[in-house]
Structure 1
Amino acid sequence: MRRNALIAATLVAAGMSFAPLPPASAQAEAQPEAQTAAQAEARAEAKALPSVQVAARYSGTVARGETYYRSGDFAVWRSSVSSAFLSGFRNANGRFVVDDVLTMTVTGENGRTQTFRHDFSRNCTAPTPQPLDYLNLNKYLFAGLNTVRFALSDKCGDVVRNSDIFLSGSGVIDPAVAGARGCSGSNWVGGITGSPAFIPSTNPPQRKDRRVQGTAGLSVANRINCSASVQVALETKVCNRFGYNCNPRTIASTTIERLPAAGPHVKTLSADCRRGTHSYRMQVRVKWVTWTGWARQTVVPKFETRVRNTPDGDRGWTRISC
């Protein structure tokens, strides 16, 4: 009943209906036709729940102790209202089994890693691997975005078999939602996840004849987010006739360019020097869009636009006279 309550809470939070499993005795007495209908209903219900297949049903011969399957990376968001389960059906409501050991490695967005293992053979004392009704992954996940990968290993003999295994829940990122994965920086949500790692630098503008010239740029450690862009601008401060209500005005800029995957990005700009004494500065503008989780009580992804200007506010000005 605990499993049904957990899954019910997950589905209700996502705005979905939930039909609990019948008792084991009732399942044993069910006719094949009824079982087939129930499976069809489960598959239909599963379409509404974010789900990815971790491993397909398999049977074969391997060397004793061999790790016979390693999954790719899966992205799972962990919050107070999200959830993630392993099970045999997409709707997180079906038994699954591994012959013999399931290993799950979780890496949080801060780089911390932890590993969980479950031995279905009970250290080779069970006559056959013992299935799990489901596995609640919430307690193994870090807050925020997690990278999760799985491995299946033999332990007791050379013949192995496992069921279909699905990762499902409101925190699971469905690749169908993620879209294209053309950027090598990240495969999560089309690469629109996380913040780029870079160090900006600006040099004070200088007078060159009747022009003002400056250099600015950044050193990129890792783009990480595929949407990240950069623009370098030369600005002057424009005030009213009394010297108040001052605002920056761009007098020269580069085009908006994709942030390099790594390495330096430096630009030199120049513009006409204004008559009199005025303030000028170089500015580096980096902008990106990042996935921040799910809209409350839904499975609709949320995105946020972030901008980092260097220098920001009213900093970095240099007075130049012409």
Structure 2
Amino acid sequence: MRRTALLTMAFAVIVGPPISPAAAAAPAPPASARAAALPSLQVASALASTRVGQQGETFHRSPEFAVWRSGVTNSFLSGFRDANGPFVVDDLLIMTITGSKGQRKSVKIDFGNKCTLPAPRPRTFLDVNKWLYSGLNTVSFALRDQCGDIKGNSNIFLSGAGVIDPASVRSTGCSPGKFAGGIIGSPAYVASTHEPKVNGQRRIEGSAAVSVVSRINCSATVQFVLETKVCNRFGHLCKARTIARTDKERLPSSGVRNQTLTGACRKGVDSYRMRVRVDWAQVVGLNDKAAFLELDHHSENEPDGDRGWVKLSC
């Protein structure tokens, strides 16, 4: 069993003032790590040494983080936001990585060398980039006891040019941690509409449905719109005008969403149609000059173009 006094000394070093490169046991992180330390997201707050409840227990799980890997990005774990200070875990750090195509791996970092050290040995920094898949990754961390005596950890930060600021996808409505599977693919669905009609209240009534096989993309939304065609006095320069619509809503994860809309009927003979609009965003890359995702926004309408009009008389 480890000596508690030695472990306490180790943690006092890590959670205290930053250690200068000269004073650290391990070499200082490369300049590229320090220069590219923003954004920096906290993986775990410092936990003082305490007895474990059960040997092998997991005492901390992080949220999921989005990290991009390319030839110009990097990402590091360290004890400070600028990737310039040591960190430690008693005993194991488990890193789970999921790639954008569903690839998955786990990496185990053992700070105690299979419980043979008198106290866990701090690392100056850890290069996360070398384990990532090309492109977008979802990464989570777990801290786990191994030796069955005490648990604890220093502050731990994930920093670097490949670390994605969650603010960069908030506009999509996606959870910041669900990047890899969330905003890569396109939704699988079929939209259908019925020809509008004049109902018993002498109003235009249209109905439509969207049948979703799988939403796939967490940003996907659907909107139903009832339109009339408005032209100039010569019947040219026509454009669609909305007479009723729903708010944009999250596309269902699966199943069928039906909608009926009614709107005012214009005097005389005019053209009307019901439409289904589905919008979503997709990742196209990482901005090289700032750590945010570049998104491509897609929109599909059914019917599209100038199709689907029916003439009705009121």
TM-score bracket for this pair, using the shorter chain length: 0.5 to 0.7
Which ranges of structure 2 fall in alignment gaps of 5 or more residues?
A: 1-19
Amino acid at match of 1:76: V
Mapped partners of 2:232, 2:104: distance in 1: 53
Assess, with a 3 A threshold, how the Cα gap between structure 1 residues 28 and 111 changes in structure 2: closer, same or farther: closer
Q: Give the Cα separation in 1 of the matches to 2:131 and 2:286.
A: 20
Q: Counterpart of 2:147?
A: 156
Q: Report the counterpart of residue 99 of structure 2 in structure 1.
A: 108
Report the 3-state secondary structure (helix = DSSP H, G, I; strand = E; otherwise coil) of the residue aligned with 1:86.
strand
1:240-279 correspondence runs (5 A)? 248-250=239-241, 252-259=243-250, 264-269=257-262, 272=265
Equivalent residue number for residue 132 of structure 2: 141
Among all aligned residue pairs of Structure 1 and Structure 2, give the percentage whose two residues are the same amino acid.
39
Assess if the C-alpha contact under 8 Å between 1:179 and 1:189 holds in 2: no
How many Å separate the matches in 1 of 2:156 and 2:99? 22
CA contact (8 A) 2:203 2:264 kept: yes
Could you report, residue by residue, the CA deviation over 1:7-65 in whole angstroms, capped at 9, with x for unpaired residues? xxxxxxxxxxxxxx75xxx4379xxxxxxxx9xxx9xx799721111122221111322
The equivalent of 2:291 in structure 1 is 299
* 1:76 matches 2:67: yes
Matching residue of 1:313 = 305
CA contact (8 A) 2:74 2:160 kept: yes
Distance across 2 between alignment mates of 1:271 and 1:157: 73
CA-CA distance at 1:205 after TM superposition: 0.9
Given candidates 63, 84, 94, the residue that maps to 1:93 is 84
Distance in 2 between the 1:118 and 1:55 partners?
A: 15
Counterpart of 1:49, as a letter, is: L
Task: Please provide the CA RMSD for this pair.
Answer: 4.3
Are the equivalent residues in 2 in contact too, given 1:106–1:149 (CA < 8 A)?
yes
Distance 1:82 1:46, change over 3 A: closer
The 8 Å contact of residues 226 and 263 in structure 2, kept in 1 or not, is answered as no
The corresponding residue for 2:10 is: none
Q: Mark the CA change 1:208 to 1:229 in structure 2 (over 3 Å): closer, same or farther.
A: closer
Tell me the amino acid that sits aligned with residue 203 of structure 1. Answer: T
Q: Which amino acid aligns with 1:299?
A: A
CA distance in 1, matches of 2:169, 2:298: 21
**Residues 279 and 143 (structure 1), Cα distance of their counterparts in 2 relative to 1, 3 Å cut:** farther
Counterpart-to-counterpart distance in 2, 1:229 and 1:61? 52
Counterparts of 1:38-77 in structure 2, within 5 Å, are: 49-58=38-47, 59-62=49-52, 63-77=54-68
CA distance in 1, matches of 2:154, 2:105: 25
Query: How many residues align structurally?
Result: 278
Q: State the Cα distance separating 1:150 from its structure 2 match.
A: 0.9
* Cα separation, partners in 2 of 1:144 and 1:217, compared to 1, 3 Å: farther
TM-score by length of 2: 0.67
Alpha-carbon contact 1:196-1:228 (below 8 Å) kept: no
Whether contact under 8 Å (2:187, 2:220) holds in the other structure is: no
> Please, which of 148, 158, 166 is the counterpart of residue 167 of structure 1?
158
Q: Are the aligned partners of 2:65 and 2:176 in contact in 1 as well (CA < 8 Å)?
A: no
| 8 Å Cα contact 1:233/1:284 also seen in 2 | no
Per-residue CA shift, 1:131-168, capped at 9, x if unaligned? 32322222333344433211111212312332221111
Structure 1 gap ranges (5+): 1-20, 30-37
- Deviation readout 1:174-209 (Å, 9 max, x if unpaired): 45x46989x7x624599xx73784635222314437
Distance 1:28 1:106 in 2: 29
Match of 2:275 in 1: 283
Q: CA deviation at 1:124?
A: 2.7
